[in-house]
Amino acid sequence: MQINASHHRVHEKQPYRTWYHFQPPQNWMNDPNGPMYYKGVYHFFYQYNPYAATFGRHMVWGHSVSYDLINWIHLNHALEPSESYDINGCYSGSITTLPGEKPIIMYTGSDTRKHQIQNLAMPKNLLDPFLREWVKHPQNPVMTPPSGVELDGFRDPTTAWQGSDGKWRVIIGAKNGDEGKALLYHSEDFVNWKLHYNPLYASDSTGMFECPDFFPVYISGTKNGVDTSVQNSSVKHVLKLSYQNKQQEYYLVGEYFPDQEKFIPDPDLGGSCMDLILDHGMFYAGKTFFEYGKNRRILWGWSKECDTTQDDVEKGWAGLQGIPRQVWLDKSGKWLMQWPIEEVEKLRDKHVSIMGEKLVGGSTLEVSGITASQVDVEVLFELPELESAEWLDQSEVDPLLLCSEEYASRSGIIGPFGLLALASEDQAEHTAIFFRIYRAPNRYVCFMCSDQSRSSLRQDLDKTPYGTIFDIDPNLKTISLRSLIDRSIIESFGEKGRICITSRVYPSLAIDKDAHLYVFNNGSQSVVISELNAWTMKKAEFDQE
């Protein structure tokens, strides 16, 4: 990856460039592609525009490697447009490991007519643990758009899995008008593919199913991951789809019947309006891989800028990847849990803690002694009696309206309480990540929000607030919040990873040493900081080979 000085002078002052989130040295990055673990090395590929800080017409597969998923070495591109079947771009795809520990890339090419077609590439030298060079398959393309699918709406193959019949199966995202389709293909040799007559799943109002992902999860509630090809009574399956119309990551948990090639999502037994969304904020095109080294399933996701295109061009880069997350099925069997991989904790440096501190209504407490512009903070709040909570009729409320600024600062009974991240000293700038508890018919619910509306004095930013409502146990005594704060990104994990919200913010005051972190309670009932731990985060290493 050559840094082209004439294209972009890398700016000395880069207040929004992150310390420990993955980003290339410059230019545009989007979807994660083909993450994998191979011979002790983690590989990460991604959509990359080598020429500009904006999305381009000739996308390549960027390629970086790591021994710990946190510190990275940037390599030369793995795939670049070069043939008639990918001359207009090497777009998203996945890696499947064939028997004999042989990785193979399946990716979407945009051909001479800008039709989307699927292609294969193999490593040139399997003895090279960095797999620096990839060779395109002589029989490319291996799939072209079938009838009933738009020619530019047929992309993003999943990791393939092998059935008990020995055949490989893969899902391709597709669309026809507003209908999204997850098309299923079979192959005996990974080169000749046959379309199954029914999509594995279809939906009529989502638009394109981008970046589908399909994988098993243990129903026992263990955090261990499962190899992609496992099919037995100890697992359920997750179908994850990026809905293009909504620009959000939805998923379904259900039963996969390989003999009939059917995926039947579980009915929503809880009756709660919590759509199964991976992350309620700026997080898209997620992709998982099974890491056999530590027996876990890891999710990557792209976080795009909420800045202006002009600013992206001026700062010379756009796009981050979230911290890789371990994912597993909650013991209820109804939703996925997500938590930052343990390796990120190696970057923890200076540590402060607060124990047993009561926050009366209307109070704010500064977490001092850390560098608040790059920090990992975990807090456990002790709740008052839930009976005192105010009433909420969920059917009449949009969580995003609840999250609006007017609401966040208005006093409730139990909450809003939480963190003010990347805050200026006078709190004129801040991003509020908070909870609020309500009574609802026959149950209690929690509202979690990340409110960016006062994140910056600048007016030209997307400051959409993100929020969701979820059921809680009526006997709940505590609720936890963890936020990874890194200069222009805040990834928040509510209630041990049940709810995730990623925000992008661009403060003009709360930068570097001028950033502050506060805990607040705007509810009339006191909450107690049972335990808060915050760590300044060290810089991750990003080297170029």
Neighbouring CB atoms inside 10 A of 341's CB total 18
- For the stretch 170-226, pLDDT in tens is 999 999 999 999 999 999 999 999 999 999 999 998 999 999 999 999 999 899 999
Q: pTM for the complete prediction?
A: 0.96
Q: What letter would DSSP give residue 369?
A: S
Q: Is the peptide bond before 416 cis (omega within 30 degrees of 0)?
A: yes
- For the stretch 115-159, pLDDT in tens is 999 999 999 999 999 999 999 999 999 999 999 999 999 999 999
Q: What is the 3-state secondary structure (H, E, C) of 37-64?
A: EECCEEEEEEEEECCCCCCCCCCEEEEE
Q: Would you call 389 helix, strand, or coil by DSSP?
A: coil
- Using CA atoms, how far apart are residues 540 and 324, in angstroms rounded to an integer? 14
Residue spans per domain, the chain: 27-305+313-340, 349-544
- Using CA atoms, how far apart are residues 466 and 295, in angstroms rounded to an integer? 32
Please identify every residue annotated as catalytic: 31
Asked if residues 500 and 280 have their Cβ atoms less than 8 Å apart, the reply is: yes
- Using CA atoms, how far apart are residues 496 and 493, in angstroms rounded to an integer? 6
- Using CA atoms, how far apart are residues 133 and 145, in angstroms rounded to an integer? 28
Q: Would you call 314 helix, strand, or coil by DSSP?
A: helix
Q: Which residues does 375 contact at the CB level (< 8 Å), separation at least 6? A: 485, 517, 534, 535, 536, 537
Q: Which residues does 400 contact at the CB level (< 8 Å), separation at least 6? A: 464, 465, 466, 467
Asked if residues 530 and 356 have their Cβ atoms less than 8 Å apart, the reply is: yes
> Which structure tokens are listed for 223?
């955090």
pLDDT at residue 407 in the model: 55
CA angle 253, 256, 258 (to 5 degrees): 165
Q: For residue 48, is it left (φ>0), alpha (ψ between -120 and 50) or beta? A: beta
- Using CA atoms, how far apart are residues 315 and 8, in angstroms rounded to an integer? 9
Q: Which amino acid is at 163?
A: G
* Beta strand 320-321 pairing with 325-329: unpaired
pLDDT at residue 163 in the model: 96
What kind and span of H or E run contains 179?
A: strand 179-187
Q: In sequence order, what are the beta bridge partners of 207?
A: none
Sign of CA pseudo-dihedral 426, 510, 504, 438? negative
Asked if residues 346 and 323 have their Cβ atoms less than 8 Å apart, the reply is: no
φ/ψ (deg, to 5) at 184: -110, 130
- Using CA atoms, how far apart are residues 425 and 452, in angstroms rounded to an integer? 17
pLDDT at residue 7 in the model: 37
Q: What letter would DSSP give residue 323?
A: P
Asked if residues 346 and 362 have their Cβ atoms less than 8 Å apart, the reply is: no
pLDDT at residue 265 in the model: 94
Q: In sequence order, what are the beta bridge partners of 194?
A: 186
- Using CA atoms, how far apart are residues 47 and 211, in angstroms rounded to an integer? 12
- Using CA atoms, how far apart are residues 438 and 429, in angstroms rounded to an integer? 28
Q: In sequence order, what are the beta bridge partners of 353?
A: 533
- DSSP H stretches of helix in 298-424: 309-315, 399-402, 405-409
CATH of domain 27-305+313-340: 2.115.10.20
Q: Would you call 2 helix, strand, or coil by DSSP?
A: coil
CA dist list (Å): 508 to 324, 430, 453: 28, 11, 14
Asked if residues 170 and 160 have their Cβ atoms less than 8 Å apart, the reply is: yes
CATH of domain 349-544: 2.60.120.560
- Among residues 287, 289, 207, the alpha carbon closest in space to that of 240 is found at 287
Sign of CA pseudo-dihedral 170, 173, 176, 181? positive
Asked if residues 531 and 380 have their Cβ atoms less than 8 Å apart, the reply is: yes
- Using CA atoms, how far apart are residues 446 and 365, in angstroms rounded to an integer? 23
pLDDT at residue 409 in the model: 62
27-305+313-340 and 349-544: same fold?
no
Q: Which regions of the chain are under pLDDT 50?
A: 1-12, 270-274
> Which structure tokens are listed for 480?
């936890």
> Which structure tokens are listed for 310?
């002009």
Concatenating the DSSP letter of every residue in 182-248 gives EEEEEESSSSS-EE-SS-SEEESSS--EEEEEEEEEETT--S----TT--STTEEEEEEEEETTTTE
- In the chain, count H helices and then E strands: 3, 38
Asked if residues 418 and 519 have their Cβ atoms less than 8 Å apart, the reply is: yes
